[in-house]
Structure 1
């Protein structure tokens, strides 16, 4: 009986009827468990991270969006003799043509900087590229079928200048969104300026060849307009690709560490953006007002100076003076990559100032041909160390990266004004020198080189030896991989000196409440940006805080002086000695 009682349950559990019933019950439980694990339709699905391939695509298209702009940069100055002859104008009238880019952008850059920060880089890239294309068509039309109309050429140049002045700013804003500091941002800036130098070298070196072989300089302008149209197409592609990527992928905006949902920002049109710029920014601005303006404006005399020193014709001198464009085309991306890895941005500023100083010393105090060539090589190296590092350091030192375009625009406006001042003064010195020698004019560039090197040396000493005096400068020096560690240590030291009450709302606008909805890496980036912002902010009561409006006022004074000196230059009849900007920032 016992055996039978034990066997009956065994037989019952092993029977086909129970087996089918048991499997049905297990499947029902699995289905119920699966239903419990289904995602809540009310919760948003997380998008995949943005692949590297799409970031590279954005980089390439953005670089090409300014190819036409930089192609045309050297056209007018390269065609100077032909334009004066065909339009029957004098040197002062030609100076007005080539200087309008500098003057227009002394104030428009700041306005467009606010616009770029508010509406984003992709949209403004399309707008700026379109302005340049429209101006290029008008300039080409002014020379077509022997029309040769000077006022129309001026109109075209002014319209093109509106786009030229802020196109690079809008592109930098795109890169600051898609690439983090130490994560490709400096390399992207180096890449775009490498392409820019190649484009300008090609356009400048082929302008007279095209005009000679095709019988009219109008063809050189029309080819430039066609390339400008290609750049507009690339800019439009960037705009629509950017919108599609925001829908398809989770795109992190590296200016604030949040997931990007759009480019429109509130509260950008505010003087607070200028007031909150740290002291380090204004010191860097002083440096660029001498170093950038000096390097950029030297282009206006480089060909003529080569003719005088080498005693060669304009063609050979033009090729020699254009050499400075080739070296940066290759080395600027490498410099950007090194900054991404090692930091040391202030050290790079000092190096660029020193190399520029050596170049001007060689030109001033030696008249041999080998020394002259060496001076131009040093000048080319100084150009390599100018564009990418300075764009990168501006982003690194400002309190809020979302004000990057505004900060960059102020810097560029001051540089344009300073370039007008030095080129006009140099032209006056040349006119007062027997045989129109440029030897005395080089003294001005030497003075600029000494001043910028001195400023960079002081900033470097403070950044490395007195890190708590200018935290922004110190953080610009550290390796990106060590940034969080340095921010934490310096913030602890600062909090030990601050009052217990800190207005966190005014210091941190980074939507801390929304951090949990983002990935851990995104939240870490938000926290790092918030800590940096607090570290770079000036405590109420500090002397520099009270004087923060002095720096913008001084910058405005430089711009005003630039306009006044330009007017004097027209009165003096300086001719073509005032040059439009090159590829420098």
Structure 2
């Protein structure tokens, strides 16, 4: 890729003494696939620890409520504390990641994440709810840095329809295995050791491993920067960068309208998936009348059994495209799953709901993240764009999570009423998915998310023409106003999430 590039303009890096021996002309623009694959493996291993930890808290909901003497609203506040920090800092993190690079952001982010994991484990040891919130907040600081960083790294190595979705699929598939192991083993570890805090100490050990891998990846990245001059998008010729020479605030504020449609779909789909996942173990306990250990296995299977589909989906998207269609199918699957859980509260209906959810949830993350990247004109601000997507998701999750906790507390701790809320959210994702598919028939700007790899390469000049029209065409002012309006709406949603969070703290009897 990018063989035609003879004068690379990779972001400045410090190369020490080797800068004298390796000139710009000696730095190859042909990055071996072995190096790309190694980078994907290392980044995927880095994310394994956070995925493992994410599967633990949801599986331990019943145990945490019992051992820490908290109710559903307080548990929701605990869950929302981490999301609150992410919404407060994620936009800054995205901009900083674009500027300093994903590898450096991952290095310090994982270190802070591990400190938070240690504090959470200590909090469970002394059975302190307040202490656990503090640990969750600190852990969130680290998670904020790593969430944008790892996908920013992928975007600098792979272009849309040229390996980006495949690498996402591999990382997310491995992450699902980590989350599955974390959720399925959490109650087993708690029961076998006789102390549920050992679940969180195991998470600490996993996170220390990811810190070691992060250090290796950081060294690997510096090695590659000294020897390779980067790569280009084979369709458009755009230079793919791991870090920028300056902050690109203007480009961050001028994201195209297809980006915001994808973000709107993610708002509905990801929020219902997040809230449902955090409650799945307890729902299985109540509906199937089984122990926490068995329920943990059932819920873990429902959420992560489709891990093998994720890499396949990534390859499919890279080769055949059809991103809008896949999002619509994902939304329809989520809606069917939530309807079965809501209107078929029997053992059979809940089991069917979990099975369909396993399939639908496997489609979401890969196609959403890849569509975010494909819809953007500027790869150098992908970290900022992905940060906006996370801010939207976490804001909605905070609001829905706390509201759902209150509804459940007022319904004798059952899931009969709160599931209706999940149905509404899933229906929202279907509506947005239908809009995207419909618009793609009349708008090439939206239709390019459907293009196959071959079509995208052939129509590279068309993409550049659409980009030029966005920047300089007669509708450029309309595009600018729309982009700014969407950004302002995102800020309002974020402030609404903060208000909901503080309301939850004030009414959750946390003192």
Shorter-chain TM range is 0.7 to 0.9
Quote how far apart the aligned CAs of 1:244 are: 0.7
In structure 2, the CA distance between the partners of 1:553 and 1:446, relative to structure 1 (3 Å rule), is same
| 363, 375, 397: which one aligns with 2:375 | 397
In the TM superposition, residue 185 of structure 1 has moved relative to its aligned partner by 0.9
2 CA distance for matches of 1:43 and 1:280? 37
Aligned partner of 1:507 in structure 2 is none
1:437 matched residue in structure 2: 414
Look up the match of 1:268.
247
Compute the displacement of 1:374 (Å).
Answer: 1.6
Aligned to 1:454: 431
**Separation of aligned partners in 2, 1:571 and 1:209:** 34
Counterpart in the other structure of 1:479: 452
Match of 1:569 in 2: 504
SS of alignment partner, residue 449 of structure 2: helix
* In structure 2, C-alpha distance between the alignment counterparts of 1:481 and 1:131, rounded to whole Å: 43
Instruction: Identify the residue that residue 578 of structure 1 maps to in structure 2.
Output: none
Kindly indicate whether residue 344 of structure 2 is the aligned counterpart of residue 358 of structure 1: no
- When the two structures are superposed, what TM-score results if normalisation uses the length of structure 2? 0.88
Deviation of 1:320 (Å): 1.5
Instruction: Give the distance between the partners of 1:218 and 1:402, measured in 2 at CA.
Output: 42
* Superposition map of 1:69-108 within 5 A: 69-84=50-65, 86-87=67-68, 93-108=74-89
State the TM-score, normalized to the length of structure 1. Answer: 0.77
Query: Residue 16 of structure 2 aligns with which residue?
Result: none
Alignment of 1:487-498 (within 5 A): 487-488=460-461, 491=462
Q: Cα RMSD over matched residues?
A: 2.6
| 1:132-175 per-position Cα deviation (integer Å, ceiling 9, x unaligned) | 1111122233445xx44444433222111112234232111111
Say which of 474, 478, 493 aligns to 1:543. Answer: 478
Deviates more, 1:202-211 or 1:338-347: 202-211
Aligned residue number for residue 144 of structure 2: 165
Deviation at 1:325, TM superposition (A): 3.2
Alignment of 1:493-508 (within 5 A): none
Structure 1 CA distance, aligned partners of 2:418 and 2:191?
32
Structure 2 gap ranges (5+): 1-21
Query: Contact between 2:77 and 2:402, CA under 8 Å: does it hold in 1?
Result: no
In structure 2, the residue matched to 1:558 is 493
Moved more, 308-317 or 403-412: 308-317
From 173, 185, 193, give the equivalent of 2:164.
185
SS of aligned partner of 1:265: coil
Partner of 1:407: 385
Find 1:370's aligned residue among 348, 353, 356: 348
Deviation by residue 1:75-97 (Cα, 9 ceiling, x = unmatched): 23433454455555666554433
CA distance in 2, matches of 1:371, 1:75: 26
**Alpha-carbon deviation of 1:566?**
2.4
For 2:70 and 2:399, locate their aligned partners in 1 and report how far apart those are by CA, in whole Å.
Answer: 24
2: CA distance between counterparts of 1:431 and 1:140? 27
| 8 A Cα contact 2:257 2:482, kept in partner | no
Contact 1:346 1:459 (8 Å CA) reproduced = yes
- Rounded to whole Å, the distance in 2 between the matches of 1:42 and 1:308 is 65
Given the alignment, which residue of 437, 443, 448 partners 1:467? 443
Whole-Å separation in 1 of the counterparts to 2:296 and 2:369: 29
Deviations 1:365-405 (A, max 9, x none): 22343332221111111111111111100110112111111
Matched residue count: 487
1:447-502 CA-to-partner distances (Å, cap 9, x unmatched) read: 11112111111111111x2024xx1x2111111211143344xx4xxxxxxxxxxx
Query: Which residue in 2 is equivalent to 1:131?
Result: 112
3-state SS of 1:312 partner: coil
Q: Which residue among 378, 390, 406 is the counterpart of 1:428?
A: 406
Contact 2:190 2:199 in 1 (8 A): yes
The 5-angstrom pairing of residues 226-265 of structure 1 reads 226-252=205-231, 254=233, 257=237, 263-265=242-244
Secondary structure at the aligned position of 1:548 is classed as helix
**Structure 1 residues 173 and 424 mapped into 2: Cα distance closer, same or farther (>3 Å)?**
same
Instruction: Say which SS state the counterpart of residue 549 (structure 1) adopts.
Output: helix
Whole-Å Cα distance in 1 between the matches of residues 131 and 366 of structure 2? Answer: 35
**Partner residue of 1:321 out of 294, 299, 318:** 299
Q: Does 1:345 align with 2:323?
A: yes
Larger Rg: 1
Does 2:59 match 1:111?
no
Q: Does 1:533 align with 2:467?
A: yes
